[in-house]
Amino acid sequence: MSTLVRAVSWLVAVALMAAAMWLHGAKPRQDSKLLDPIASRGRVGTVVGNRVFSVQVDRVDVAAAIVKDDILKRTTVPSPGLFVIVYLRIRSNQKPFMPGHARLTTRGGLSYDESGRPDVSGRTSNYEPMFWAPASYVFEIPKDRLAGTRLILGESSLLNQLSAEVDVDLGIDARKAADLIGRAPHDYVLKTT
Amino acid sequence: MTFDPYDQRPARSRAPRDPYERTVRDSYEHTVRDPRPPGTRDPLEDTVPDVLQPMGEEVAASRAKGGRRGRRLIEAAALLVLAPGLLVVQWVDDSHQAANMQPPERGTTVRRGQTGVLGHAQWRLLGRDTTVPARSSTTPAGAVHIKLILQVRPLDAQGVKNAKTTGYRLRDGAGHEWTGVPIGPDPVAGRTTQMAVTSDVPAALVNSVLLAIWQKSTTETGSSLHGLVFAH
């Protein structure tokens, strides 16, 4: 009996130690998941908002190359994949608001930040309560990742735990993605208004 | 003939012994084996068995059980104290972090035409400049350009320094806030300087928004926002 009790005690001790090790590894992941930004979901063309800000995506363009006209020359910026240009309007709902953490997510779970190319940057500013103002974001993704893309936009603070976020379905299915890729221009000019 | 050096006597003739048996005599042997006859011993040296020592098995088991129960009670009490204590410590730590990230606001309302003191400087709102155009090329649709005239008089050099880091907002009663842009010369200690604060606010709220100015102060214990709200 004593040997049985001792064996059971050892098994319980080993199980508890294994559980402690698992919890030690799982807790940070769980904590970060609990503190994820709180997303409001919507579709292209509709107003998606929360108590901090609202967003309406007006149109989505796709380009194989973007041209930029300077005073002396015209610069062409080609992409090995695709440029996805998202035009939207943003309104603050409370205080002056600066958007941030913008990214494009795809069906495969991959997430793309804004294109880091200095010549083809988007346009954002400070947004005030009760006034809609235009904005644009330029992303660069592989061609086979266009279908099912979603725009995610949050607040600009570095630590964005539990902050407000919008998640907008850009409405690009497989058929529309193939159509957009086939018609992607090589001389796209970013719109400024 | 052999000679035992410890015996000091000639050894008797006998068969050769195992050499390992030929150990020396223990010189302290008398302390181990009391040579005295039993009747001549010191009575104080004769001890009696402790009547409490030879416990029965039931008594020992009962005592062990009582000890385990006491230990369990102490452990449970420690758990009851430590578990809430850990939660309280975590909560206090999180509260301090949150307070530093978003410091508490301490505002004072200044009556119309009165002077308020903030950050070693006197502040006074003179009113709205109605001569400026209500709209400009950058004014959003539905907005009105507003310009408020403000006087500041730093009381000392610290007041000048604080005045340069002041934040300006326009507020309505529903909690909305719009950015105020200060325009004017740098303030000088001991002198009254006139400046303007401009902003674009909804046309419907142009007569109800209030000017709020804020300064952030940081101490060893944390940071806080102190401000003035001008009624007009």
- What is the interface pTM, i.e. ipTM, of the complex? 0.78
Q: What is the pLDDT of residue A117?
A: 84
Asked if A158 is an interface residue toward chain B (Cβ–Cβ < 8 A), one would say no
The encoded tokens of residue B83 equal 């578990």
How far apart CA B145 and CA A129 sit, in angstroms, is 14
Question: Residue A131's closest chain B neighbor by CA?
Answer: B140
Pairing between β-strand A188-189 and β-strand A53-69 as defined by DSSP bridges: parallel
pLDDT tens, residue by residue, A33-69: 888 899 999 999 999 999 999 999 999 999 999 998 8
Contact A131 B177 (CB under 8 A): no
The model carries a pTM of 0.70
Question: In A, which residues are within 8 Å of B140 by CB distance?
Answer: 128, 131-133
- Classified as helix, coil or strand, A23 is helix
Contact A94 B176 (CB under 8 A): yes
Q: Which of A94, A131, A161 has the most B C-beta neighbours within 10 Å, making it the best mutation to test the interface with B?
A: A131
Question: Residue A134's closest chain B neighbor by CA?
Answer: B140
Question: In A, which residues are within 8 Å of B141 by CB distance?
Answer: 131-132
How far apart CA B162 and CA B171 sit, in angstroms, is 22
Contact A96 B142 (CB under 8 A): no
Question: Residue B168's closest chain A neighbor by CA?
Answer: A96
Contact A126 B202 (CB under 8 A): no
How far apart CA B119 and CA B160 sit, in angstroms, is 9
Contact B177 A133 (CB under 8 A): no
Closest residue to B177, CB basis, from A96, A126, A133: A96
Provide the percentage of residues in chain A whose pLDDT is more than 90.
75
Query: Rounded to a whole number, what is the distance in Å from the CA of B177 to chain A's nearest CA?
Result: 5
Closest CA to A145 of A120, A119, A170, A116: A170
- Classified as helix, coil or strand, A105 is strand
- Residue range B210-215: mean pLDDT, rounded: 93
Q: What is the pLDDT of residue A42?
A: 95
Q: Does residue B26 register a pLDDT over 50?
A: yes
Closest CA to A111 of A78, A139, A80, A73: A139
What is the number of residues in chain A?
193
Higher-pLDDT residue of B54 and A124 is A124
Question: In A, which residues are within 8 Å of B142 by CB distance?
Answer: 130-131
